[in-house]
Structure 1
Amino acid sequence: MTVPAPSDASVPDGTATESGDSSRITPELLKLAGVIMLGAIMVQLDATMVNVAIDTLRQSFDVTVSTIQWVSTGYLLAMAIVIPLTGWAVDRFGARATWTFSLCAFLGGSVLCGIAWSAESLIAFRVLQGLGGGMILPLAQAILAVAAGPQRLGRMMSAIGVPAMLGPVLGPVLGGVLVDQLSWRWIFYINVPICLVALALSWRIMPAGDPETAERKGLDKLGLLLLSPGCAAVVYGLSEAGQHGSFTAREVLIPLVAGVVLLAAFAWHSLWTSTEPIIDLRLLRSRNFSASSGVLFVFGMAMFGAIFLTSLLYQQVHGDSAMRAGLLLAPQGLGLAVALLLAGPLTDKVGPRWIAVTGLVLAAAGTIPFCLARGDVNQLILGGALVVRGAGLGAILVPCMAAAYSGLANQAFTRASSALRIFQQLGGSFGVAVIAVILQRRVTDAYTGAAGHPTLDQVAGAYGDTFWWAVAFTVAAIVPALLLPRTLRSDAADESAPRPAAMG
């Protein structure tokens, strides 16, 4: 299928329809990618920087951990709530207007967080910040996917993959520096100049589109009332599972069951009763999209679970500071950078299937040394393992993102981005919650078996046993990866994909 040029104000044009070689990366496309990445990496870094400062915030406001953890959870829930609005907002107001609003909301939330005077005010301002940040990543994916066209999808997904993967690696280091050398308030103030630059550049570079041709679609209010609280309830339940160390606690079961019921009701509504659902589940009729979604969900469990475990291993078992733990994670960024340079062009030439499978194998291989590590660790071995794991991360995300859009009509790109982002976020939340529950049980068993005085090797062994679950999740993701397309050729359209009429 040849992806046509956008004909409305939903997405920027002028980059995918030039005369000449349609596979060439033009200067205009590079400028657009740079602006998009600036906003995307800001959101990713912010989330991980705040995690480093949680204990400092607890001490500053003299509150308990169960209270201050809402600084992160509230932000996550706000992002989950607003993601489904992205597709409708772009259809209704255009890409540039929606992008500008998102950046402004994130900017305002950042300033307010920086001047927060209590834990309660900081939590409220983090929710506002999340309402802006939640739209930025799916917007970034959709804008670049349409601008690139099918010939350049792999390389452009490499670009958007940089913020998604570098955030968990660089964020803890930068956050540690800001908290130690300046103040916790600077983890929010640092967003201000980045936001202002991103706003100025996007206003100049991102085409405004023609407001007269924008789609004036109504908002699927019932879908929003089912989907957003459903996602929020599931994310909340999973975060509580990590806090309580169990999935059977009332605080976990009630929101989880309520969330699942709401999501099931939304699925029925989207498939059978709505002509213009806020997230069109008919996208899953596309094998490419459903396979990509499956990989991103299952691997999200493994990736975020492993990052969560690795940081805790360095800090709680080996006694490293948050800053040093972030530095020890840096080799993963090296492997990631190499993979991102290679995965995009290889995906365009070879196709997504075997690139993704290779990435999953590398990610599993890079995690196994952590399964075997005990108290007396060789940092060189673990550093090398992180390089391998980082290479696997980059080799998985790029082909999955590119394959998800292959065969979809342009009109479906923004809503597809929203759906993909939800799958990633829920997969990551589920993975961290499951890993946290397993780790808690393993550590408890270690203390019980040693009469409350386990050796360092025994505690490290509890972590090693839990890392095997991250390996198992990674291996499980190979099943949907084998369903990814062999090629991204523009004439290899997915006939099962929804066409513009089906998208409403």
Structure 2
Amino acid sequence: MDPSTLEPSVTDQVAAPPNKLDGTVLKIAGVVVLGAIMSILDITVVSVALPTFQTEFDATYAQVAWTMTGYTLALATVIPLSGWAADRFGTKRLYMLALLLFTLGSALCATAGSIEQLVAYRVLQGLGGGMLMPLGMTIMTRAAGPERIGRLMAVLGVPMLLGPIGGPILGGWLIDVASWHWVFLINIPIGAIALVYAWIVLPKDEPHPSESFDFIGMLMLSPGLALFLYGVSSLPETGTITATKVWATMLAGALLVIGFVLYSFKPRHPLLDLRLFRNRSLAIATISLFVFVIAFMGAGLLFPSYFLQIRGESTLNAGLLMAPQGIGAMLTMPIAGMMADKIPVGRTVPFAMALIAAGFFTFTQVDTDTSYVLLCGSLFVMGLGMGGTMMPIMTSALRTLSHAEVARGSTLVNILQQIGGSIGTAIMSVILTSQLNGSPDIPGVTNPNSGEPITEAGAAIAVQQGIQIPLPPEILQRGLQYAADSFATTFWVGFLLTVATLIPIAFLPKRRAAKDVSGEGAVEPPVLIH
């Protein structure tokens, strides 16, 4: 056949696909970057504002923690809907709705007069934020095509890292020079720009109104995920899985999710298409990402806590000390993205994961005076590994999907990421809390709010954070040492989970999948040969 008689899109596929991303794709990527930065920045900025919320609203830590938990529950509820809604209404209008909800929620958060109001407005934020990431991944994958998705993920990954790097720094600075309200107000101009940009740049929607909505699946999956994550998130507050608030909600949620899994293979268009797991490449990549998120994201939240609670640093300094991790990731992510388009991820990701484990090991040895040079150097090494891990695994998960499967696939990946992050955070918080509570009580000293005895470790941490408690130097030092040992023990758990991630990663594809010249994605054989 004469190539000139082929359709343009097919001719382009027969020829070597362009290595560089064209201007149209980069403009679309810019929209997704803005939404991702807002979502990620908001999580990291709010995390450093929790002590301020305690003071401003006269609330306990368990109460203010619901500003994070409520956001997470909203994410878990809305993410399953995003795949169907993207097909039904189109990605452009749905993405703009998500931006609007997130921006409106941010504005309302700044007006909150009580902790209850703040939690409610955070839920509204989460309804928008939950759609931003899966929709963004869908838009990116469709724009770039399977051959360039690794390169596009790398381009997007660098500015997205500004959230974890800049969040703690920005949050600490805004609280110091202005007020906690600006933690949320900062999203309003970014959201307005993103809305206008999305309206101009994103391609016109092509919705598919014929697909039916899986109401039965929604009634099982969304409440099931919310109940399960509610129970998991309550673990740090109760300190035990035997509390009714924990086990009952986790059990109810798990039963609903299991019911959904058994049911989901019956309807033609299920809310969450688990049939995609028949694609071995997607299944292995998703499992690898799930285990990695449990291991790293849970422990990752404790790094700034160590600087704040053990070393007595300000929120701004703690954010600056975390910056080497993001810098390391920024260096390797573009390289890893280009390699992901040429070299199977199964040949590169294990080496990146080994870097993360090597850097992580340092934190299992932390003390009250561990060298900042050593800690920042270890964070930098971990960042180098992160840049070669997260985006290549996502690339492996999505690149073998057809155009019609992308929205469903990105929804699956995002749900498992969210569940993994919540489980990892809860596990690490429970372990750290139980370790700290094992510290001896200080005779005759009680908490003025609860009336309960104060442990040596708890009192030492309070002093490091600027709370005036008269303590003899020997008790202060002993409490700090106990607290540092508690962090080290918790980091050991995170390190071992990180090493365990190498098991599913070993099964990532080590050969390139065959390409489909139709432009619909890669043709995936029933079983990949590794």
Q: TM-score normalised to the size of structure 2? A: 0.86
Residue 249 of structure 1 is aligned with which of 197, 222, 243?
243
Find the residue that maps to 2:242 and give its secondary structure.
coil
Equivalence for 1:502: none
> What pairs with 1:88-167 in structure 2 (closer than 5 Å)?
88-162=84-158, 165-167=161-163
> What pairs with 1:429-448 in structure 2 (closer than 5 Å)?
429-447=422-440
Counterpart code for 1:192: I
The yes-or-no answer on 1:291 pairing with 2:287 is no
- 2:333 and 2:388 in contact (8 A); partners too: yes
1:353-374 CA distance string (max 9 Å, x none): 1222112111111111111121
Residue 262 of structure 2 is aligned with which of 248, 252, 268?
268
Residue 270 of structure 2 is aligned with which of 247, 260, 277?
277
**CA distance in structure 1 between the aligned counterparts of 2:442 and 2:281, rounded to whole angstroms:** 48
Q: Report % sequence identity.
A: 39
**CA distance in structure 2 between the aligned counterparts of 1:181 and 1:171, rounded to whole angstroms:** 15
Find the residue that maps to 1:23 and give its secondary structure.
coil
Equivalence for 2:467: none
**CA distance in structure 2 between the aligned counterparts of 1:489 and 1:77, rounded to whole angstroms:** 37
Mark the CA change 1:414 to 1:160 in structure 2 (over 3 Å): closer, same or farther.
farther
**CA distance in structure 1 between the aligned counterparts of 2:171 and 2:14, rounded to whole angstroms:** 42
Mark the CA change 1:461 to 1:104 in structure 2 (over 3 Å): closer, same or farther.
same
Counterpart code for 2:189: P
**CA distance in structure 1 between the aligned counterparts of 2:158 and 2:253, rounded to whole angstroms:** 31
**CA distance in structure 2 between the aligned counterparts of 1:364 and 1:217, rounded to whole angstroms:** 45
Residue 57 of structure 1 is aligned with which of 53, 71, 83?
53
**Alpha-carbon RMSD:** 2.2
Mark the CA change 1:373 to 1:70 in structure 2 (over 3 Å): closer, same or farther.
closer
> What pairs with 1:444-459 in structure 2 (closer than 5 Å)?
444-447=437-440, 452=456, 453=475, 454-459=478-483
Equivalence for 2:491: 467
How many Å apart are 1:489 and its aligned residue? Answer: 4.7
**CA distance in structure 2 between the aligned counterparts of 1:319 and 1:185, rounded to whole angstroms:** 24
**CA distance in structure 2 between the aligned counterparts of 1:72 and 1:459, rounded to whole angstroms:** 24
- 2:325 and 2:382 in contact (8 A); partners too: yes
1:368-402 CA distance string (max 9 Å, x none): 11111211210001010000001111211111111
Equivalence for 1:486: 510
- 1:435 and 1:466 in contact (8 A); partners too: yes
The yes-or-no answer on 1:69 pairing with 2:53 is no
1:38-86 CA distance string (max 9 Å, x none): 1111111011111111221222222333322221111111111000111
1:85-120 CA distance string (max 9 Å, x none): 111111111110111111111111111111222222
How many Å apart are 1:464 and its aligned residue? Answer: 1.1
**CA distance in structure 1 between the aligned counterparts of 2:254 and 2:514, rounded to whole angstroms:** 37
How many Å apart are 1:164 and its aligned residue? Answer: 5.4
Mark the CA change 1:490 to 1:170 in structure 2 (over 3 Å): closer, same or farther.
farther
**CA distance in structure 2 between the aligned counterparts of 1:84 and 1:26, rounded to whole angstroms:** 32
1:322-359 CA distance string (max 9 Å, x none): 22111110110111101212110111121211222112
Mark the CA change 1:455 to 1:52 in structure 2 (over 3 Å): closer, same or farther.
closer
Equivalence for 1:356: 349
> What pairs with 1:336-347 in structure 2 (closer than 5 Å)?
336-347=329-340
Gaps of 5+ in 1: 1-12, 498-504
- 1:352 and 1:488 in contact (8 A); partners too: no
Find the residue that maps to 2:271 and give its secondary structure.
coil
- 1:150 and 1:488 in contact (8 A); partners too: no
Q: Which moved more, 1:433-442 or 1:482-491?
A: 482-491
**CA distance in structure 2 between the aligned counterparts of 1:89 and 1:488, rounded to whole angstroms:** 32
**CA distance in structure 2 between the aligned counterparts of 1:159 and 1:368, rounded to whole angstroms:** 29
1:254-313 CA distance string (max 9 Å, x none): 111111111100101112x22211111111111111111111111101221221221211
Mark the CA change 1:284 to 1:355 in structure 2 (over 3 Å): closer, same or farther.
same
How many Å apart are 1:446 and its aligned residue? Answer: 4.5
Equivalence for 2:464: none
Mark the CA change 1:429 to 1:163 in structure 2 (over 3 Å): closer, same or farther.
farther
Counterpart code for 1:149: G
Equivalence for 2:410: 417
Counterpart code for 1:469: V
**CA distance in structure 2 between the aligned counterparts of 1:86 and 1:64, rounded to whole angstroms:** 34
The yes-or-no answer on 1:181 pairing with 2:177 is yes
- 2:158 and 2:334 in contact (8 A); partners too: no
**CA distance in structure 2 between the aligned counterparts of 1:90 and 1:270, rounded to whole angstroms:** 19
The yes-or-no answer on 1:85 pairing with 2:78 is no
Counterpart code for 2:397: A
- 2:19 and 2:148 in contact (8 A); partners too: yes
> What pairs with 1:325-404 in structure 2 (closer than 5 Å)?
325-404=318-397
Higher relative CO (Cα under 8 Å, sequence separation at least 6) belongs to 1
Mark the CA change 1:26 to 1:352 in structure 2 (over 3 Å): closer, same or farther.
same
Larger Rg belongs to: 2
**CA distance in structure 1 between the aligned counterparts of 2:526 and 2:194, rounded to whole angstroms:** 38
- 1:155 and 1:345 in contact (8 A); partners too: yes
Q: Which moved more, 1:202-211 or 1:335-344?
A: 202-211
**CA distance in structure 2 between the aligned counterparts of 1:184 and 1:283, rounded to whole angstroms:** 43
How many Å apart are 1:159 and its aligned residue? Answer: 3.2
- 1:165 and 1:394 in contact (8 A); partners too: no
**CA distance in structure 2 between the aligned counterparts of 1:59 and 1:446, rounded to whole angstroms:** 25
Runs of 4+ off more than 6 Å: 16-20, 448-451
The yes-or-no answer on 1:315 pairing with 2:308 is yes
How many Å apart are 1:163 and its aligned residue? Answer: 5.7
Counterpart code for 1:282: R
Mark the CA change 1:311 to 1:392 in structure 2 (over 3 Å): closer, same or farther.
same
Find the residue that maps to 2:264 and give its secondary structure.
helix
Find the residue that maps to 1:25 and give its secondary structure.
coil
How many Å apart are 1:209 and its aligned residue? Answer: 3.2
Q: Which moved more, 1:72-81 or 1:160-169?
A: 160-169
Mark the CA change 1:189 to 1:172 in structure 2 (over 3 Å): closer, same or farther.
same
Equivalence for 1:43: 39
How many Å apart are 1:165 and its aligned residue? Answer: 4.3
